[in-house]
Structure 1
Amino acid sequence: MTDHNHYGGDPESLLSVSYPNAQLSDLVLTIENRRRLWNVVMEQRQWDKITFHGLQPVRRLLFTGPPGTGKTSTAQALAGELGVPLYTVRLDLLTTHPKDEGEAEFRQVLDTLMQTYGVFVFDGVAEFTEDNRWILVMLQQFLMQDTSKSVIIVASNRPRLLDGVIFEQCDRIVNFGLPTSDEARAIIEGQLAMFDLRNISWASVLTAADGLSHAEISTVAGSVAEHVMLTNAPVSWARHLTAELGRARQ
């Protein structure tokens, strides 16, 4: 169970904090992404040993990829692995603020983050107009000045719109793509783990899942599982999943 508290008590607050218990093993990840993320966890756990030898652990990450491909759930799993809070900063909310008000609120949030240890996610990093590019400038300054142990994640669906300075300040880029057929099957099997799927015909199911995100496939499979449990009726898994995945495209 994850508890949520919002900075300032506002559900639309710029900063929110949660306490995930997710693990990386819960996620369907590419082999390369799993390796990179485990390295981050292990380096955090061996911080003193690494810094004793004059090295700096990897802790600034740029997450890129389409919506629903696992950026948020991966940040939650990193926080869960490390046993620390997950702080999420909704940068998109700043675009609706007058500059002076927004700068003051963002500065207050950054000052709070610099005094604590956790996983920080700067979300909603998308297209900024000339009127609100100050948001990126303040984020760049924070990345350059922060000397904490915290894991910092900049999450973007459109990385081409980011300034080069942000790329330069990130230690690793982790790309999240749409799931392969094997990954789609793993997502579905994970959601339907309580059922016997040995006789399912996967071809039509995976064809229907092609092009959908991790989140979309997971939601469909979870809904099918709930329906089967509630109705307790016989089900043709392939037909039911194929139909529901097809609806998710519409």
Structure 2
Amino acid sequence: MPGPRSGHDQEKGALMSTKQIVALLNSHVEGDQEQFLSIALQIAAQQARAGNETDANALKRLVQKARERQGGAPSGQTPIPLARPRGELQGLVESAYPKTTLANMVLTDAIRARLERVVREQGQRAVLRDHGQIPATHLLLVGPPGTGKTMTAAALAGELRLPLFTVKLESLFSRFFGETAGKLRLVFDQIAQTRGIYLLDEFDAIGSRRGDPNDVGEIRRVLNSVLSFMEEPNSTDSIVIAATNHVEILDKALARRFDEVIEYHVPDHEAARILLTRRLGQLRLTAKAWSSIAPMTDGLSQGELVRAADAVLKDAILENAKSIDVARLRTALEDRQSFRRRFHA
């Protein structure tokens, strides 16, 4: 049984508390509300590790109430100042503060319902914890390029008014091969300290099956580290989103760590029509025009459809045109189809 703390240990604990108070006051004076709340969550995590679950949960609930109050800020006012990666995380993580929402996306009813459930759980996470439940915090998004995976991360950040942190995994490997697990440790430490949406893009770079013929020892070590990191408590309820175009090569043990696995597909004709109509805006896409170009949208991703629409829209802006040029839209779609055939050949 451990004995009483020594005077030195007590003094050290007091110093740590003093530093936290100084950091809290400094963030308050600087008007950095997100930093203020992040420090409060760090204290909550310390209390939880020390076994003081009651105090830890009380702090988390207060932080949530503060953020919910910020959520009612007037339109156009930033409710939470943008948190930016610092120190060794610079270059590994890119930060943004998207204004995109789920309403801006063309989604199937099934995918929209699942994402809206994630938003609802996050908004009521204190209620869930009071009943012994936790909100969904780990999402795996799979599907072809350009089908909306990255935009989903931005939309969730916009819905929850949280910063979006994008972790560039391939950059991490190329710059720090041999130290990747340690760098990922920094990322997961930030997840535990700073609430946000964390996008691990091109996740198959670290999630490929163990034992793959092309596997190397470093990738196995990194994968094992990620498996361990994802089991750790997420005191901030940050959302970790992994996106991949190659779900078939993901390690099954890793896939089981996710609360939600959402599969994206290229748009069908109706989704393509809605997307083009929204993108073209005042250049109305009539039923007659749509019937002539609908077959040309087959197999095109959301990203490819957007690029085709933007090419026509920019021409219209520069030429001060008031209506859509169907021939140009047809050509733009044909160009995207030609590129897709070459790319996938």
Question: Please, what TM-score do these two structures have when normalized by structure 1?
Answer: 0.90
The one of 130, 135, 141 aligned to 2:216: 130
Which SS does the other structure have where 2:199 is aligned? strand
The one of 111, 134, 143 aligned to 2:230: 143
Letter of the 2:294 partner, please give it: L
Q: Who wins on radius of gyration, i.e. which is larger?
A: 2
Q: CA deviation at 1:10?
A: 9.1
Instruction: Please give the alpha-carbon distance, in whole angstroms, between the structure 1 residues aligned to 2:145 and 2:233.
Output: 28
Instruction: Please give the alpha-carbon distance, in whole angstroms, between the structure 2 residues aligned to 1:9 and 1:188.
Output: 42
Map 1:1-250 to 2 at 5 A. Answer: 7=86, 13-127=91-205, 128=208, 129-131=215-217, 132-148=219-235, 149-198=237-286, 200-233=288-321, 237-249=325-337, 250=339
Letter of the 1:130 partner, please give it: V
Which one has a larger percent strand, Structure 1 or Structure 2?
1
Q: CA deviation at 1:119?
A: 0.9
Q: 1:85 to 1:236 in 2, by over 3 A?
A: closer
8 Å contact 1:200–1:237 — kept in the other structure? Answer: no
Q: CA deviation at 1:5?
A: 5.5
Q: 1:52 to 1:201 in 2, by over 3 A?
A: same
Which SS does the other structure have where 1:173 is aligned? strand
Question: In angstroms, what is the RMSD of aligned CA positions?
Answer: 2.4
Alignment coverage as a number of residue pairs: 249
> Where do 5+ consecutive residues of structure 2 fail to align?
1-75, 77-81, 209-214, 340-345
Letter of the 1:175 partner, please give it: E
Q: 1:236 to 1:130 in 2, by over 3 A?
A: same
Instruction: Please give the alpha-carbon distance, in whole angstroms, between the structure 1 residues aligned to 2:255 and 2:122.
Output: 21
8 Å contact 1:60–1:152 — kept in the other structure? Answer: yes
Letter of the 1:115 partner, please give it: Q
Q: 1:60 to 1:219 in 2, by over 3 A?
A: same
Which one has a larger percent helix, Structure 1 or Structure 2?
2
Identity value in percent: 33
8 Å contact 2:191–2:234 — kept in the other structure? Answer: no
> Where do 5+ consecutive residues of structure 1 fail to align?
none
Which SS does the other structure have where 2:178 is aligned? helix
8 Å contact 2:99–2:155 — kept in the other structure? Answer: yes
Instruction: Please give the alpha-carbon distance, in whole angstroms, between the structure 1 residues aligned to 2:104 and 2:196.
Output: 20
Would you identify which runs of 4 or more consecutive aligned residues in structure 1 move more than 3 Å? 3-11, 97-100, 233-237
Higher relative CO (CA 8 A, sep ≥ 6), structure 1 or 2?
1
Q: CA deviation at 1:246?
A: 0.6
Residues 47-94 of structure 1, C-alpha deviations (whole Å, 9 max, x = no match):
111221222222211100011100000100000000001111111223
Q: 1:166 to 1:236 in 2, by over 3 A?
A: same
Which SS does the other structure have where 2:179 is aligned? helix
Which SS does the other structure have where 1:144 is aligned? coil
8 Å contact 1:7–1:17 — kept in the other structure? Answer: no
Which SS does the other structure have where 2:294 is aligned? helix
8 Å contact 2:166–2:201 — kept in the other structure? Answer: yes
Which SS does the other structure have where 2:226 is aligned? helix
8 Å contact 1:120–1:153 — kept in the other structure? Answer: yes
